[in-house]
Amino acid sequence: MAKYMLIMRSTDEALANFEDHDFDELLNAMGRFNDELIRAGVLLAAEGLDPASEGVVVDFTGETPVVTDGPYGEVKELFNGYYILDLASKDEAVEWAKRLPFSEGAKVEIRRIPSIDEFPQDNEWIQKERAWREATGQL
Count how many domains the chain has.
1
Q: 88-109 pLDDT, tens per residue?
A: 999 999 999 999 987 777 889 9
Q: 52-84 pLDDT, tens per residue?
A: 788 888 889 999 999 988 776 666 667 888 999
Confidence of residue 7 (pLDDT cuts 50, 70, 90): very high
The model's pTM: 0.82
The end-to-end CA distance of the chain, in Å, is: 14
pLDDT of residue 119: 93
Question: What domain range includes position 42?
Answer: 2-135
Q: 15-38 pLDDT, tens per residue?
A: 777 777 788 888 898 999 999 999
Cα–Cα distances in angstroms (integers) from residue 54 to residues 18, 80, 84, 118, 132, in the given order: 19, 12, 23, 36, 32
The strand pairing partners of 46, in sequence order, are: 83
CATH number at residue 39: 3.30.70.1060
